[in-house]
Amino acid sequence: MNYTAIIIFCALFGFITVMGFVAARWRRGDLDHLHEWGLGGRRFGTVVTWFLLGGDLYTAYTFIAVPALISGAGALGFFALPYTIFIYPLLFLLFPRLWAVSHKRNYITAADFVQGRFGNRWLALAIAVTGIIATMPYIALQLVGLEVVIGAMGVQTEGFAGHLPLTIAFVILAVFTYNSGLRAPALIAMVKDVLIWITVIAMVIVIPQQLGGYEALFASIPVDKVILATPPEGSLGLYSGYVTLALGSAFALFLYPHSITGILSAKSAEAVQKNAIFLPAYSFLLGLLALTGFMAVYAGVRDMPEYADGFAASGNNFAVPALILHSFPDWFAGVAFAAIGIGGLVPAAIMSIAAANLYTRNIHAPFINPNMTPKQEATNAKIVSLVVKVGALVFIIGLQPEYAITLQLLGGIWMSQTVPAVILGLFTRWLNPVALFVGWAAGIILGTWMVSTNGFNSGIYAFDAGLFTVPGYAALYAITVNLALTYGLTPIFNRMAWTRGSDETQPSDYLYGRGKAAAMPDPAITTALE
């Protein structure tokens, strides 16, 4: 056991635990109201939102999995870089409109907006259930990242005693989230992000010097690790797979409930737009982090006997922890592992809050208890957030991590099917809610089937177009069918009055910014969508 690293790790965990409880008094609000507990009172400025969204999107599993993918799969793993670049123009152009209408109508979830816009609680239920199911394995993956670094410090991670550190960490998470709501991960995210930046910058400066410099590093990497394989005749091969993975993943990321929660917690649409400008700094950080996958290959940590047990237990996910242990003193390893561990707690807290918001507002309220008081609503969400965390913990302890990875792979495909209702709904009311529901269901079924043909091991589906094969991300193929059905059935269903709900929003609800005219939809866009 690496006692120095363990002491540093526990000290930093203790510090953020105190911060988690103190957060209840930070920007004080009545936590018996759901918008205060679940959205931080919608009062986070540009800087806090930057840390919150950064901590939300760049998680412990990102820190572990991206270098692992690079060290294993090579060039294909770099799709994460253009993917995180594509998302920010979408954030800048689309989500200030969602913030504006949600702020004016007190919407707390994307499903709230869909319910208000299309007046169909079954469509809203579909959006809510999709979000909750897609979020659960995402929370579990944060546990995977946390468990890897706990094991890297020499702590046993098998059996009852082995799962005890992980359980303690999530009990701490559960208690301060229940107590402080979204304020806790927002405050802790600042510490987490500072530690992550310090760790990554130290790695990209110190490790290459130990290995003989970047020139020697890149010269040692096989060509097939840095360049996609040439497609076989009659197929686009990994070329189309790479492009569609990057593009399709970008559509899904900001539709996840935890991303929506971070966006709606901002105090203004301007804060959302500024974050679309500043958040690409994290993409730069991700690029540096991806390089550590090559560093692990060049350093040969996989072949070092002292790390054999770690790789046997965690596979390529152990590459970065092994590289840190090999390259830095024990005290810095403790700091780095704490950064990764806290990087698991922050998004897990936001995800559990987001799932609780969805259940409370879009399942419990409309279908079980429509007459909840604000206090009952907040209490219900707090309890559900605990249940969600316990479910994720049991999932990891009772099942293999591969199940969480598979479900998270499916989660991105499922979340993409909410694009028509949420994103297009920001610009047009013409789409019929029943048609949207049918399109959503078809997209979910088709996307899941495509992944099943690969044994649930890959999201790339080889679409056979006769004489030519186009491997592509299943989410894009599924959403194409989703949109075709939605647009094909809308004119038919629109003739049936019973299929159309009422729109409680007004054009002025979508206004934002100083001039406000910038928020009005371009008539040409609305006409094109119709």
Q: What is the mean pLDDT of residues 105-110?
A: 95
Q: Retrieve residue 360's tokens.
A: 């409370």
Number of neighbours of residue 259 by Cβ within 10 angstroms? 23
Q: What is the CA radius of gyration of the chain?
A: 23
Report residue 291's pLDDT band, with 50, 70 and 90 as the boundaries. confident
**Residue type at 132 in one-letter notation:** I
Quote the percentage of the chain above a pLDDT of 70.
94
Higher pLDDT, 145 or 91: 91
Q: Contact at 8 Å (CB) between 350 and 358? A: no
Element (H, E) at 472: strand 469-473
Tens-place pLDDT, residues 233-276? 888 888 888 888 888 888 888 899 999 999 999 999 999 999 99
Higher pLDDT, 63 or 325: 325
pLDDT given for residue 410 in this prediction: 87
Tens-place pLDDT, residues 492-503? 999 988 888 889
Q: Give rounded-to-5 percent helix, strand, coil for the chain.
A: 80, 0, 20
Q: What is the mean pLDDT of residues 42-59?
A: 86
Number of neighbours of residue 21 by Cβ within 10 angstroms? 14
Q: Retrieve residue 33's tokens.
A: 């109201």
pLDDT given for residue 64 in this prediction: 76
Q: CATH homologous superfamily for 3-403?
A: Sodium/glucose cotransporter (1.20.1730.10)
Query: Range with the lowest mean pLDDT among 237-241, 347-351, 510-514?
Result: 510-514
Higher pLDDT, 45 or 223: 45
* 517 has pLDDT over 50: no
Say how far apart CA 265 and CA 45 lie, in whole Å.
9
pTM, two decimal places: 0.90
In terms of average pLDDT, the best of 136-150, 185-199, 232-246, 431-445 is: 431-445
Q: Kindly list the domain boundaries of the chain, sorted by start residue.
A: 3-403
Say how far apart CA 475 and CA 464 lie, in whole Å.
16
